[in-house]
Structure 1
Amino acid sequence: MNTLIWIFIFISTFAFMEFMAWFSHKYIMHGFLWVLHSDHHHKDHDSWFERNDAFFIIYAVVSMSFILAGVKTWFWYGLPIGLGIMAYGAAYFLVHDIFIHQRFKVFRNANNRYAKGVRRAHKMHHKHTGKEDGECFGMLFVPFKYFKK
């Protein structure tokens, strides 16, 4: 197996996951699985956990399945695909759950241009508490207008 191909598959998968996050957020979470995502927009419970956390488990199962297929079968490229999904999940968790929503109290003072833009974009997304009329469904790559001062 060529290392450059492996790295290319990993990076491509990571980048593709931003599209998948946008697509699933817009059409699945704000669509037929709103029942799982709604408590993320309007907290209706006292628990630290949200029904919305189920999406983390869904993507983790997909990632683990690719990793296992890559290690245990002829499907070697399942490993870089699974690790790319896992790396995106870790980045998403850091940016969304830790940095933006402060589920853990770290990165509170990050005020660089990227951090401010991502925060603004997510704030605009959360101004809509219903499943309709949402905007800015991406996470790591958001429209340039949110980076303007």
Structure 2
Amino acid sequence: MNPFVAALLVIGTVVLMELGAYALHRWVMHGWGWGWHKSHHEDHDHVFEKNDLYALVFAGISIGLFALGTWVPLLTWIALGVTIYGALYFVFHDGLVHQRWLFKKPPRKGYLKRLYQAHRLHHAVDGKEGAVSFGFLYAPPVDVLKKDLSERRSALRDDTGDAQPPSRNLH
């Protein structure tokens, strides 16, 4: 395969993975898949959480695509894009944002700070409702997320008549 086409397939897959991860995170993980994802929104002191099962599912998909790439070489490049996305997720989401390994301090400037703040805002609500910022590598501007979070909290309060849901420490 032409190296330029292969590179486009890999990069395109990484971009599509972020779009797919946004949708999966918003409508599956915070929907019918909350049973696994809930562990990610709870404090714990163990290495693994039930939410890590999602990583195993995507690893299985990537392995399957690599295996199918034996017969359809195009799928090998797509599998590589899925794998690269998984590695980026592991470094930036688990390592940087949640400090499960590697990073020990939050970033203080630039895009990494914005990514960190955006995901902390995602965790600012208890439960699956009212969260913002569902992407893993793309972070909307923090001021936009704060406004959205405030509006979602107001909407939840209006829907239930209850007081505003408690917020978590945002660091």
User: Normalising by the residue count of structure 2, what TM-score does the alignment of the two structures yield?
Assistant: 0.79
After superposition, residues 1-149 of structure 1 pair within 5 angstroms as 1-43=1-43, 46-70=45-69, 72-73=70-71, 75-106=72-103, 108=105, 110-145=107-142
Q: Greater CA radius of gyration, 1 or 2?
A: 2
Q: Which runs of 5+ in 1 are unaligned?
A: none
RMSD after superposition: 1.6
Equivalent-residue separation in structure 2 for 1:126 and 1:109 (angstroms): 15
Contact kept? 1:120, 1:146, Cα under 8 Å: no
Task: Go from structure 1 to structure 2 and tell me whether the alpha carbon gap of 1:87 and 1:112 turns closer, same or farther (over 3 Å shift).
Answer: same
Deviation of the 1:110 alpha carbon: 3.5
Equivalent-residue separation in structure 2 for 1:21 and 1:97 (angstroms): 15
Contact kept? 1:117, 1:146, Cα under 8 Å: no
Equivalent-residue separation in structure 1 for 2:103 and 2:45 (angstroms): 22
Identity of aligned residues (%): 35
Deviation of the 1:132 alpha carbon: 1.0
**Equivalent AA in structure 1 for residue 121 of structure 2:** M
Work out which structure has the larger RCO, using CA pairs closer than 8 Å and 6 or more positions apart in sequence: 1
Equivalent-residue separation in structure 1 for 2:143 and 2:120 (angstroms): 10
- Runs (4+) of structure 1 moved beyond 6 Å? none
User: Normalising by the residue count of structure 1, what TM-score does the alignment of the two structures yield?
Assistant: 0.90
Contact kept? 1:21, 1:139, Cα under 8 Å: yes
